[in-house]
Amino acid sequence: MAAINLRDLRTRGLLIKLQGREYLTHPALLSIAAENGLKSLRTQIHSWDPETRQAVVVCTAEGERGTYTGIGDACPDNVGRQLAGATLRMAETRAINRALRCFLHIGLCSREELPDIRGEAQPEPAPEPAAEPEAAAVMDEIIEEAQQKLATKQQLGMLHAIARELDEGQGRERTSEALHAHLRGVAADAYGVESTLDMTSTQASELIERLTITLDGMRERV
Structural domain includes residue 110: yes
Structural domain includes residue 189: yes
Torsion (CA) 127, 131, 136, 140 in degrees, nearest 10: -10
Taking the C-alpha atoms of residue 162 and residue 148, their distance in angstroms, rounded to an integer, is: 24
What confidence score (pLDDT) does residue 57 get? 94
Q: Is the pLDDT of residue 141 over 70?
A: no
Q: What percentage of the chain has pLDDT greater than the value 90? A: 27
Q: Is the pLDDT of residue 75 over 50?
A: yes
Identify the weakest region by mean pLDDT among 141-145, 163-167, 214-218: 141-145
Q: What is the pLDDT of residues 155-213, one digit of tens each?
A: 788 788 888 888 888 888 888 888 888 888 888 888 888 888 888 877 777 888 777 77
Question: Are 90 and 73 within 8 A, CB to CB?
Answer: no
Q: Is the pLDDT of residue 77 over 60?
A: yes
> How many CB atoms lie under 10 A from the CB of residue 198?
15
Structural domain includes residue 134: no
Structural domain includes residue 206: yes
Angstrom CA distances, 136 to 18, 20, 119, 173, stand at 10, 11, 12, 50
Structural domain includes residue 138: no
Q: Over the chain, what is the mean pLDDT?
A: 80
Structural domain includes residue 112: yes
Provide mean pLDDT across the span 125-147: 48
What confidence score (pLDDT) does residue 63 get? 92
Range of the domain at 181: 21-119+148-221
Q: List beta partners, residue 73.
A: 56
If DSSP states are collapsed to H, E and C, what string results for the chain? Answer: CCCCCHHHHHHCCCCEEECCEEEECHHHHHHHHHHCCEEEEEEEEEEEECCCCEEEEEEEEEECCEEEEEEEEECCCCCCHHHHHHHHHHHHHHHHHHHHHHHHCCCCCEHHHCCCCCCCCCECCCCCCCCCHHHHHHHHHHHHHHHHCECCHHHHHHHHHHHHHHHHHCCCCCCHHHHHHHHHHHHHHHHCCCCHHHCEHHHHHHHHHHHHHHHHHHHHHC
Task: Tell me how many domains the chain contains.
Answer: 1
Structural domain includes residue 111: yes
Structural domain includes residue 8: no
What confidence score (pLDDT) does residue 82 get? 78
Q: Give 101's pLDDT tier (boundaries 50, 70, 90).
A: very high
